[in-house]
């Protein structure tokens, strides 16, 4: 089962999301929060796999909550604001995905499933644009290159494809690897890079000049 936390200060929004997710027998909503502080406490208490967080909430907003939750769960931000700046802030906070609140029900379910596997909930072209325009820091290039020196050749190749925004399945198809094998490589890559998730790893790849355009 995929254990989900929903955090939104609007009760009706939380209820609607819960009803949608209950249509999938492999997803269970284990906790709901009305503000950021409560979201952090409940995420840790219930050992959630995916946290759906509204960006703007009282008691510490979703971005602040994401920073604290991202090390233990995959975070997807929910918002009515679709500008790049909000997406960039969410990615910096450690989120693996970003969805607008008017996302169709099946897409929301699919997004939760992808997030549970640590896959980014953004189109590859959006991921690349955000990383290149908003998230990379040129001053970090030497540090990024030092980090990737710890990777094996295969891990470097996988990281390069992660930097292009490819999913585990797409990486597997390119490298003729099983999806589970790709996941295993990424699970080894993240601690070597000191990253909490694949989006942060993609940033390192771009800063190191590893990812092809």
Question: For the segment 141-186, what is each residue's pLDDT rounded down to a tens digit?
Answer: 888 889 999 999 999 999 999 888 788 888 999 999 999 999 999 9
CATH architecture of 131-207: Orthogonal Bundle (1.10)
Task: Tell me which range, 43-52, 121-130, 193-202, is most confidently predicted by mean pLDDT.
Answer: 43-52
- From CA 78, how far away is CA 58, in angstroms rounded? 15
- Residue 138 banded pLDDT, cuts 50, 70, 90: low
The answer to whether 54 and 68 are in contact (CB under 8 A) is no
HSE (side-chain half, CA atoms, 13 Å) at 35: 5
Ranges of each domain in the chain: 2-121, 131-207
Residues 6 or more apart in contact with residue 180 via CB below 8 angstroms: none
Euclidean distance between the first and the last CA atom of the chain, given in angstroms as a whole number: 37
Do 2-121 and 131-207 have matching folds?
no
At 74, phi and psi to the nearest 5? -85, 125
Superfamily of domain 2-121: Response regulator (3.40.50.2300)
More confident residue, 200 or 8: 8
Determine the pLDDT at residue 208. Answer: 87
Give me the percent of the chain exceeding a pLDDT of 70. Answer: 89
- Residue 213 banded pLDDT, cuts 50, 70, 90: very low
The stretch 94-115 carries a mean pLDDT of: 88
HSE (side-chain half, CA atoms, 13 Å) at 57: 31
The answer to whether 70 and 97 are in contact (CB under 8 A) is no
Is 0.85 topped by the overall pTM?
A: no
């Amino acid at each position: 089962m995929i254990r989900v936390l929903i955090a939104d200060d609007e009760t009706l929004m939380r209820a609607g999301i819960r009803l949608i997710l209950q249509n999938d027998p492999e997803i269970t909503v284990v906790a709901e929060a009305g503000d950021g502080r409560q979201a952090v406490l409940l995420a840790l208490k219930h050992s959630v796999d995916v946290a759906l967080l509204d960006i703007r909430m009282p008691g510490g907003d979703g971005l602040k909550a994401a920073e604290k939750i991202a090390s233990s769960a995959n975070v997807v931000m929910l918002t009515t604001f679709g500008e790049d700046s909000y997406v960039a802030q969410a990615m910096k906070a450690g989120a693996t995905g970003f969805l607008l609140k008017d996302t169709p029900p099946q897409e929301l379910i699919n997004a939760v499933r992808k997030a549970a596997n640590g896959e980014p909930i953004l189109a590859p072209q959006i991921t690349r644009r955000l990383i290149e325009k908003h998230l990379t820091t040129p001053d970090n290039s030497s540090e990024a290159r030092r980090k990737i020196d710890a990777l094996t050749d295969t891990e470097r190749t996988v990281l390069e494809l992660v930097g292009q925004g490819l999913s585990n399945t797409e990486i597997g198809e390119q490298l003729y690897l099983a999806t589970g094998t790709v996941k295993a490589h990424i699970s080894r890559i993240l601690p070597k890079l000191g990253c909490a998730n694949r989006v942060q790893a993609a940033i390192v790849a771009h800063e190191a000049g590893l990812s092809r355009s």
